[in-house]
Structure 1
Amino acid sequence: MNVTRPREDGLRAHEYRWALPSVLLGDGGAGGRVRRSTRDWIVDTAMFLFACGLTFLSMVELDAQNQPVPLMAVEQVTGALSCVSVWLRRRWPVGLAVVLAVLSSYLELVGGAAVVALFTVAVHRPFKVSGPVTLLNLLTLAPYVVLRPQTDMERGWAAALGVAVVLTVFAWGIVVRARRQLVWSLRQRADGAAEEAKRLERERIAREMHDVLAHRISMLSLHAGALEFRPDAPAAEIARAAGAIRTNAHLALQDLREVIGVLRHSAPDGDEVVPDRPQPTLADLPALVEECRHAGMDVQLDQRVAGAPEGLGRNLYRIVQEALTNARKHAGAVPVRVVVAGERGKELSVEVSNPLWARQPARIPGRIPGAGAGLIGLTERAELAGGRLEHGATPQGEFVVRAWLPWPVETTREDDT
């Protein structure tokens, strides 16, 4: 059947994809309207001509046997109708195969169409259906050999030839069906792999947008909260906060434009290709800490390692960035300590800690809302890099985020990107 039929049955796009086995392999219902593609028309025409060719050869042999005129008339009429019925093999494959098998138990000129019908059932139906139909075709050989003996062939040899033809056609149909199932399975795997790649890319872009924008927006919220709750601040301080808001808003828009630019493809003429946005590394960590200090945070950086690969440094930078953003959201102006250490061939570790609040008031002015998605994203990032991440309160009254990332002895250019 044509692959457009599931849409006539009201299937949606995702249901249509999973309904393909029923349509292409014929395991679903039959009897509905058939809309043939160009390939279907070519195949059906070839099958019709094949059935007509076998019928013509049988008719030549039948004329040589000098059969009675009434029998010859019946043979010719049923032979012509059986050839025409081949066009119904897509709509009623099993019914057509059964009717032609029964007729072939005595009539000879329906043999060509019966062979085509049996092949169709073997291709488009599972063995639990095609097996009994094949058995019926084998059983109808017995009355045909007995009632219509061949003048130039013994009955035993005629029966053996008929069995060989039926089994050969059935086996051929099974092979074609198995090949179609294999092709469909490979296509499904390829589609699944493509969908998985798209999902992973969407998750990567979502993490990138969260890591970049959460940092900038938290800066905006921090300075805007200071202006809201300290309207009587000195003019110089208000101007500094307003300038910080303007700067971070501009940087947020710029970062958003760069991240969205990754989603763009080349132009239709292939002239424009948008490169990947520049990624921060471990060398950019002091600048991040200095930016947080300008925003009013008390951050101490203890960086005991340098020269880490770009990919490893980028993951560690994002972890520190998100940890500082969370500290700015939930811990206010408490001191934050960042310790980065590691050794090539072992691992690269980072620890971001800050004292817990002595008490949690019902409403803290300037607090930025958060749902914990950042920590979940950090854990996923660390796991994707082959490391691990822990976070939580310690008995010493601190909230600590610790991450360990593997640092192989030798890294390739691909690992560094």
Structure 2
Amino acid sequence: MQTEEPALTRLRVVRWMQLLTPLMLAWFVWAAATAEPRFGLTGTRLIVVLATVVFVAGVFGRNATAEVPIRPAHAVFVGAMLVGSVTLVAVQPSGPGSVAVLVAVLCAATALMPVRVAVPALIVAFVVLEMLASITGQDFGFLAVLAGFAVLFGALYLAFRLAESQRETKRLLAELEAGQAALAEAAGLAERQRLAREMHDVLAHSLSGLLLHLEGARMLITEDPTDPRLPVAVDRAHHLARSGLEEARRAIGMLRDDDLPGPDRLAALAEQFSQDQSVPCDFAVSGEPRSLRPEARLALYRVAQEALTNVRRHASPTRVSLRLAYESTGTRLTVEDFADRGLVIPAETGGYGLTGMRERAELLGGTLSAGTTDHGFRVDLVVPT
């Protein structure tokens, strides 16, 4: 609470200065126009100069946390204008010094309010000046000269601010372009990583099965070329090669959303594994099925595919369980094997097996755990709803 009070006080001061700026402009103009043309800083002229210094110092001395930041170039410009105006007022009382005072105040006012507000405030100041001049009987000729000089200095200042704004705009555009280039590069890297995961999952699944069946066919040919299991092994290898090629083509073709495999293909995946390995692979679904994002659907399928590939390569299971559960907080996929010899995953050296599965889970804000159990190995994936 104590830290908020100074900030509120500063904000109130700035608000009051914004409200009083048009009136102060009018008073500065009137006082400068009606001051007696004496040499030096005396009388009304001294009051005008002192008030100007106090006002400008108050504007640029306010805390940097104010709602309208003041640029160094702005402060230098106004400071130079103020010093020059004080000198002109002291040396040449009837010259443009009074106008310079007015312009210095106007420049300072733009630090408190937008130019579109400060300029109309100057116009209001001239209107008030004319009203006061008509009441007091002041000479309108000097007013015209004063107004002309003020408009000239105001135009120069606005040109200065416009050039500064253009430079700032160019700088921001350059930063924006650099940021967009960095984002595009990051997106390209992320896409290449995604494609690498896709290709690994597709090829690891199809090629490992293909290698297994071809190895079995080679052994059958060596032992008994007439064995009836030989054509079956060759047919299965042919099927795996064809399906793997089709999936690889889809992955390279960027995989349109409507072609992405998902939970609806898990039953077929379990059945295919059971046929290829001659090992029971149970598939069960629990909970109320829900619509999932395309990337979540793909992650569930690819993790199941990779987990079954690891079972095929590293274990001798007697049974495999594939379970999909729609829970209140997310969708859970569990792949578990039951084997006499537990599944042992060798240390990965830059591969995309368990690492790729974890990356998929993290990209979706989910979790993946994998480890041995009393009867085998379990992979558990949870993707948020």
Q: Secondary structure of the equivalent of 1:353?
A: strand
Measured at CA, do residues 279 and 135 of structure 1 come closer, stay the same or move farther in structure 2, by a change above 3 Å?
closer
Q: Matched residues, percent identical?
A: 28
Query: 2:250 aligned to 252, 258, 270, which one?
Result: 258
Q: Secondary structure of the equivalent of 1:295?
A: helix
Look up the match of 2:148: none
Query: 2:325 aligned to 333, 342, 347, which one?
Result: 342
Measured at CA, do residues 322 and 157 of structure 1 come closer, stay the same or move farther in structure 2, by a change above 3 Å?
same
Q: Deviation string for 1:18-69 (max 9, x for gaps)?
A: xxxxxxxxxxxxxxxxxxxxxxxxxxxxxxxxxxxxxxxxxxxxxxxxxxxx
Decide whether the 8 Å contact of 2:339 with 2:376 is kept in 1: yes
Look up the match of 2:95: 154
Measured at CA, do residues 318 and 299 of structure 1 come closer, stay the same or move farther in structure 2, by a change above 3 Å?
farther
Q: Deviation string for 1:115-168 (max 9, x for gaps)?
A: xxxxxxxxxxxx88x7899699879979x98xxx9xxx7263586699785755
Query: 1:403 aligned to 363, 370, 381, which one?
Result: 381
Decide whether the 8 Å contact of 2:206 with 2:240 is kept in 1: yes
Look up the match of 1:375: 354
Decide whether the 8 Å contact of 1:388 with 1:403 is kept in 2: yes
Decide whether the 8 Å contact of 1:299 with 1:337 is kept in 2: yes
Q: Partners of 1:194 and 1:241 in 2: how far apart? A: 47
Aligned length: 259
By how many angstroms is 1:328 displaced?
1.3
Look up the match of 1:224: 214
Matched AA of 2:177: R
Q: Partners of 1:372 and 1:357 in 2: how far apart? A: 27
Look up the match of 2:130: none
Choose between structure 1 and 2: higher helix proportion.
2
Which structure 1 segments of 5+ residues have no match?
Answer: 1-126, 264-274, 362-366, 408-417
By how many angstroms is 1:370 displaced?
7.8
Q: Partners of 1:291 and 1:194 in 2: how far apart? A: 40
Measured at CA, do residues 326 and 358 of structure 1 come closer, stay the same or move farther in structure 2, by a change above 3 Å?
closer
Question: Aligned-residue CA RMSD in angstroms?
Answer: 4.2
Query: 1:293 aligned to 261, 274, 286, which one?
Result: 274
Moved more, 223-232 or 155-164: 155-164
Measured at CA, do residues 299 and 393 of structure 1 come closer, stay the same or move farther in structure 2, by a change above 3 Å?
same
Look up the match of 1:203: 193
Q: Partners of 1:190 and 1:360 in 2: how far apart? A: 46
By how many angstroms is 1:282 displaced?
2.2
Q: TM-score, normalised by structure 1?
A: 0.50
Decide whether the 8 Å contact of 1:141 with 1:162 is kept in 2: no
Decide whether the 8 Å contact of 1:281 with 1:310 is kept in 2: no
Q: Secondary structure of the equivalent of 1:404?
A: strand
Query: 1:319 aligned to 272, 292, 303, which one?
Result: 303
Matched AA of 1:181: R
Q: Secondary structure of the equivalent of 2:353?
A: helix
Q: Deviation string for 1:96-118 (max 9, x for gaps)?
A: xxxxxxxxxxxxxxxxxxxxxxx
By how many angstroms is 1:183 displaced?
2.6
Look up the match of 1:284: 265
Measured at CA, do residues 201 and 336 of structure 1 come closer, stay the same or move farther in structure 2, by a change above 3 Å?
farther
By how many angstroms is 1:391 displaced?
0.5
Which structure 2 segments of 5+ residues have no match?
Answer: 1-70, 108-152
Decide whether the 8 Å contact of 2:370 with 2:379 is kept in 1: yes
Q: TM-score, normalised by structure 2?
A: 0.53
By how many angstroms is 1:277 displaced?
6.0
Larger gyration radius, structure 1 or structure 2: 2
Measured at CA, do residues 371 and 199 of structure 1 come closer, stay the same or move farther in structure 2, by a change above 3 Å?
closer
Matched AA of 1:391: A
